[in-house]
Structure 1
Amino acid sequence: MNDPFKQASAIRKVLTANEDAAGRIDAFLTEALGGEFSRNRIKSLIEQGEVSINGKVVTEGKKKVQPGDVFEIGMPEPEDPEPKGEDIPLDVLYEDDDVIVLVKPPGLVVHPGAGNWTGTLVNALIHHCGDSLSGIGGVKRPGIVHRLDKDTSGVMVVAKNDIAHRHLSDQFADHGRTGPLERAYMAVVWGRPRGLKGTIDAPLGRAGDRIKRAVKREGDDDAREAITHYQVIERYHERPDSTALAAMVRCNLETGRTHQIRVHMAHIGHPLIGDTDYGAAFRTKANLLPDEAKAVVNRFPRQALHAFMLAFEHPATGETMHFESPVPADMKELVEALRSGD
């Protein structure tokens, strides 16, 4: 099949459909532009009157393409973002024209929302990236393709343009089943999971409110597949019966649901230390620890979870990118306290 478009002029967004042209114009333009813009972005441009066929503006994406149609696509300058840039320090591991990879500290909210309209990672990225943001969906903003909870630290990748955003979004939606995407976390949990490794395959859904999640039965309306693979890395204060008061566990995500690791580890009886949402009933276990370790555990301010490794395919070069970040200072102090007196 011939390339359905040929350049009609030196202007980048003037295109002529050849004899193979067919289908709705929104779907056709999305494919013809090589994935440069999402279909929703193309639909938005059509509705805004930015697309003309044979010199006449078209406002409906369902209109059919005809061989020989000449398209002109006007590309307005990306709008300024609603969130404002803020000079918040960032720990950047890598950056180019397409992506930025960074380590999110604990306590930083990723995206502005109710109760957190400022002081977020998005505000920091808008300030840091400046004009290098070419626009996501027509707006100068960073493309968030995955999130970490406010009190979870670790490695994140963010898109800086539409093409990168679409490519990375597809990788995360695929959960790494057909590509190099990989996400690994370190968690410090109460007790010690049975065996040295295992898989938790338990669907998740809402737990009665907008944020919290719970394990659901197969077939429940809101049940979504969730799979976590875990491996015990260290055990603390192990007993003669092979149980332990706590353990460090590596968790690899096969899916990426909200609060997945936190809910899954609590589901098998080993909630994360510091997790007040899913492990509050285990706080008294700190009384079994030596005084120094007990004090550190009791003042630990968050769930003990760090996204230490992220791998993905670069959206422009196709290269597999791999990044790691050691656990932050607060988790390091927690682990050292649990090791002491063991």
Structure 2
Amino acid sequence: MRRFTPIDNTPSLDEDIRALMEDIDASMADFEKRLDAERMRQPRPTATSAPAAAIPLPRVAQPPGGSVPPAPAEAPPPEAPPVAAPPAAQAPTQDGGGGLLAELAAEASARTGDAVSRRAIQQRRIHDALDRVYRFFEAFNRHANALAPTIGRSYRLDTQAAYTDLRWHEAMVKSRKDSLSELALLDFVAFRVRLVAPGPVTVAVGWSRLDAFKKDMHILDLRSAEGMDLDGVVEGGELVMHLAPDFPVQITFGANHESGRIDVLSRNLEGFGIAAFTCMPDDVTQEFLDALGRFLLARSNNLPAALRRAHCRAEL
């Protein structure tokens, strides 16, 4: 073993450290000598020794005759007896019985479900028809407002006063749904246009029918000309009034889910007055809408044949 030696042999090296190092070197050298001696005493193998013979396994005794009976097969474990499922409990009916009552309840439930389904389909058809009306007037108004055509139709108040040479002005359409839900259905679609005469229209009304005339003005949405008093000027027992040159034409298409139809209410459509109609959702076709648009533009004097007249109150 290599000895530890100091870097130099100066007498300043600590003697105790040197003695410790020498003792460690001596101990290691002695350990190596004893290890070599032990190696020398171990005998060296002269030849490869044979492996030990395997211990034979015990053999089963053979019966006379040389045949070995087969080992008996293990019997399968006995199967557990099947567990019978408990009988299904019969759902109690609202009437507390089964049998016939359950059958009647099922039939009533099916009929109710069919009625609900039919109602939902009917409501959807009405909604789709109103949607077609809205989309038609949305485009129709855009083109008509750009053209501002002259309407070749006269609106007469009496034998002397009438609105003539009318011009189309600011048509609009709006709709409303029956709720704020995304799945809400259209409740109504309303069309409105103002027809404008060249100037105010003068009308003379007798005292006896003054109250009735004022009520008619409210229903027809007529108003006095700007700067003119509604009471007008009395001349020869009559009240002379100057009415504003414009008035509205309105059509409202409303959903009637109870009857499965569309109720149509109009103001000043064919002339001054309130008129009501009905139509079925399937009647609202492109042909129907085109005919209605032509009538509004006075290009036809016939309303769509699918509009069936109905009674109404004189209000809109």
Structure 1-normalised TM-score? Answer: 0.21
Q: Which has the higher contact order (CA 8 A, sep 6+)?
A: 1
Higher strand share: 1
Structure 2-normalised TM-score? Answer: 0.22
Higher helix share: 2
